[in-house]
Amino acid sequence: MEETTVVVPTRDGLELQVYRWAPEGAPKAVIQVQHGLAEHAARYRRFGEALTGAGYLVYAPDGRGSGRTAHGDYGNWGPDGWPGWVDDLVQLNARIRHDNPGLPVGLFGHSMGSFATQNYLLDHSSDVDAVVLSGTGEVSGLADALGGDGPADLSAFNAPFENRTGFEWLSRDDAEVDKYVADPACGWVAPAPGDFASIKRAADPAALAGIREDLPILIVSGDHDPVAGPEAAGPQIVGERYRNAGVQAVTVKLYPGARHELLNETNRDEVTADIIAFFDASLA
């Protein structure tokens, strides 16, 4: 895997620092990766190696307020707040298509990146050819949980699990949890982005009706992921909303016993293989 970096300006004056991971030889398609809250794109290198090994070119940004883009000021969402985070997907996607004309583009969003993807698809489904939502859930509940004025408190997510570090809800793999805890660019707390309530638009049937019917969508979740809600209802609700909106190829796959970070779970090889198989089938 060849690693380079690019910079993508946002509409409100930030500069997204983006990893570009290239395969040997000509890529068959591009995968745009959007990470979650309180983490960064470098944590997806293992996933990037699997994707490039399968012939994909990968763009993975450090989102606003995160990683190298934050310059140490983690949780600074910029003037545009949540709508800016969603529009950052638009700006990066435009850069990808400009740099790689003619190549299909798949979009992978995890956790907060998956919620941004849910908003993004309402107006930009024609700009991607396949979508994977990982660690996702029902947007209204998230908006209510994180929409207060103070720092977002995720500690309740760990309530069903042992409390060795407070982040056991992420994965059953203790080594992966420990790496997260030891990473100064992970686990920070901050208020939700400005205008976070606009995330609820992804539950509006009229807005969902704008998503193109032929877009393949794969929703993956651990059935013990607290973000998914009781009995992992959240991802299933999202899938049903897309089907009710007329999207024809929607698959929801739940992994027994798995928690929030499927790409860092004990069954990560299975999950990665399933995602690559989906992209292979959808982007051919």
Summarize pLDDT for 129-183 with one digit per residue, the tens. Answer: 999 999 999 998 787 777 666 677 777 899 999 999 999 999 999 999 999 999 9
The pLDDT score that the predictor gives to residue 232 is 96
Kindly report each contact of residues 3-12 with a partner whose C-beta sits within 8 Å and lies 24 or more positions away, as own/partner.
6/59, 6/95, 8/61, 8/88, 8/91, 8/92, 8/95, 9/91, 10/64, 10/78, 10/80, 10/84, 10/87, 10/88, 10/91, 11/80, 11/84, 11/87, 11/91, 12/78, 12/79, 12/80, 12/84
Give per-residue burial for 164-194: e unless 16+ CB within 10 Å, then b. Answer: eebbbbbbbbeebbeebeeeebbbbebbbbb
196's tokens: 């976070």
d(CA 5, CA 197): 33
d(CA 198, CA 217): 22
Q: How many CB atoms lie within 10 A of CB 42?
A: 16
Query: Is residue 23 scored above 80 in pLDDT?
Result: yes
170's tokens: 């992420």
Query: Is residue 239 scored above 80 in pLDDT?
Result: yes
**Can you give the residue range of the structural domain that contains 125?**
2-283
Q: How many domains is the chain partitioned into structurally?
A: 1
Q: What is the pTM of this model?
A: 0.97
Backbone angles phi, psi at 3, to 5 degrees: -110, 125
Best CA proximity match to 108, nearest among 126, 128, 91:
128
Query: Is residue 104 scored above 90 in pLDDT?
Result: yes
The pLDDT score that the predictor gives to residue 69 is 98
CB 126 within 8 A of CB 213: no
Averaged pLDDT score across all residues of the chain: 96
Q: In this structure, what CATH number is given to the domain that contains residue 192?
A: 3.40.50.1820
Query: Is residue 223 scored above 90 in pLDDT?
Result: yes
Backbone angles phi, psi at 189, to 5 degrees: -115, 145
Average pLDDT value for residue range 73-80:
96
